[in-house]
Chain A
Amino acid sequence: MFRKKNTAGVDSDAIREILDEKKTKMKLSLKACAHCTLCAESCFLFMGRDKDPKYMPSYKFINSIGVLYKNKGNVDKLDLGEIRDIVWERCVLCTRCYCPMGIDIPEMIALARRVCRSQGVYPRYDQE
């Protein structure tokens, strides 16, 4: 559903700069995903959470770095908060996920985390 973005406090140019660094590889990776779901069972969080599709590696990168590229970096704090929940709460970056197409999923999640960090959005272990 369409939502008007409030981009206050978000440096979209800085986000775009990070996204542009790896644009070719990331766009290719996003395009190469065949939605085959073979990555799913390589994720212990997916397996350990009753195969909840929200823990599927492909779901995680499409809804984090995929969203960032789709919006060309024009995201607000709410979007970044949702991405933060995906890339930190639903992924521990164990780098064990497997893609038969050769997509480097951890690199995609790490890039989404980098974008979040650049905007001061990251997990606060002192506020739990």
Chain B
Amino acid sequence: MVKAKRKPIEEIKEAIAGYKNILNVGCGGCVSVCLAGGQREVNELNAVLKLHMSKDNVQKSIDGYTVERQCNVKFLDELDPMATKYDCIISMACGAGVQNMAERFPGIPVFPLVNTVSIGIDRNLGMYEEKCRACGHCVLGYTGGICPVTRCSKGLFNGPCGGTNNGNCEISNEVPCAWYDIYNRLKAQNRLDDILKVQPPMEWQNQTPRTIIQEPYENRYRA
């Protein structure tokens, strides 16, 4: 799932400085699961902001509301009757949700409250580890299920660099070398041949927003 982290309170205060009536919208999807932007976090943040405002002697009205998913326009409909009453909307959703909200209400400024960090896994309560950067060209099949784009500091596709250091990365002894792990896993599975094939470089340049259409729906949307 998408993982996010709340922005520093000072950055949030700066974003809403010029607005009086503010609606804080949470999202019941991924950001709720990673404890960054669900209903609980909306309530908490609003309480913190109100405390700051009273301390700074600033008059603002901040309401909270949580929709089921900000990345699906269907769930934004319920904001229609209330959205226009506010000067701005602050959104606790991921980047996709914030953009969907801004598209849905083009006349109202929308500000993000979280930084969308990664696609990751739940390691523990409140601890999430990045596992995927949605590069659009998955190579996990030949790297033993370890992503070189995410795990290797240089995102190398064809073996480690000269900086691999007894299983660690040259950037830090705390960071394991992805290619060392890939080698060991494939060796244990007797699949070392997989990394003998040279993989072409990723086309990072000239990327445009990727919209996917699943195969059974191609006729519907590409007609």
A interface, CB within 8 angstroms of B: 93, 95, 106-107, 110, 113-114, 117, 122-126, 128
CB distance from B203 to the nearest CB of A (A): 32
Pull 14 A–B residue pairs with CB atoms less than 8 Å apart, ordered by A: A93-B68, A95-B72, A110-B75, A113-B28, A113-B68, A114-B68, A117-B39, A122-B28, A122-B39, A125-B34, A125-B38, A126-B40, A126-B126, A128-B125
Q: Which residues of B contact A113 (CB under 8 A)?
A: 28, 68
Q: Is B15 an interface residue (CB 8 A)?
A: no
Is the Cβ of A126 less than 8 Å from the Cβ of B66? no
B interface, CB within 8 angstroms of A: 28, 32-35, 38-40, 66, 68-69, 72, 74-75, 78, 125-126
| Chain A interface SS verdict (over half) | loop
How far apart are the CA atoms of A93 and B126 in the complex, in Å?
24
Is the Cβ of A114 less than 8 Å from the Cβ of B74? no
Is the Cβ of B68 less than 8 Å from the Cβ of A110? yes
CB distance from B64 to the nearest CB of A (A): 10
Q: Which residues of B contact A107 (CB under 8 A)?
A: 74
Is the Cβ of B40 less than 8 Å from the Cβ of A124? yes
Q: Which residues of B contact A122 (CB under 8 A)?
A: 28, 38-40, 66
Q: Which residues of B contact A124 (CB under 8 A)?
A: 40
How far apart are the CA atoms of A125 and B38 in the complex, in Å?
9
How far apart are the CA atoms of A36 and B31 in the complex, in Å?
36
With CB as the reference atom, state the residue of chain B lying closest to A125: B33
Is the Cβ of A125 less than 8 Å from the Cβ of B32? yes
CB distance from A126 to the nearest CB of B (A): 6
CB distance from B113 to the nearest CB of A (A): 18
Is the Cβ of A114 less than 8 Å from the Cβ of B78? yes
Q: Which residues of B contact A93 (CB under 8 A)?
A: 68-69
